[in-house]
């Protein structure tokens, strides 16, 4: 996300892309907090990161549709977001199905 911003115009970099970078950092923070938290807080952090990730997907798609980023960049970023989403959902599923751990 951060490297993509280097190629953007000042307007786009300080507008929609700044919001994208903030949400990406928020997700990273939630995942780190989840990894070191107890089960109840872990689930809260993961739920929040899952919601933020969906918002991030929509914002990246908007960047692509507005031709702020090219197709190659969009496909690369979207692939990473989908993989991250799968991992978070798997982690949440594990937490909810294994109440004793």
pLDDT given at position 6? 77
Residue 101 has pLDDT above 70, yes or no: no
Domains detected in the chain: 2-97 (1.20.1440)
Q: Which pTM value belongs to this model? A: 0.86
pLDDT given at position 57? 97
C-alpha distances (whole Å) from 21 to each of 14, 56, 75 are: 10, 9, 17
């Amino acid at each position: 996300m951060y490297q993509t911003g280097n190629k953007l115009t000042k307007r786009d970099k300080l507008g929609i892309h700044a919001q994208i970078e903030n949400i990406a950092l928020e997700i990273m923070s939630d995942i780190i907090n989840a990894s070191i938290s107890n089960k109840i807080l872990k689930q809260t952090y993961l739920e929040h990161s899952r919601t933020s990730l969906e918002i991030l997907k929509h914002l990246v798609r908007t960047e692509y549709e507005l031709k702020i980023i090219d197709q190659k960049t969009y496909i690369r970023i979207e692939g990473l977001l989908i993989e991250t989403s799968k991992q978070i959902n798997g982690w949440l599923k594990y937490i909810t199905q294994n109440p004793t751990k």
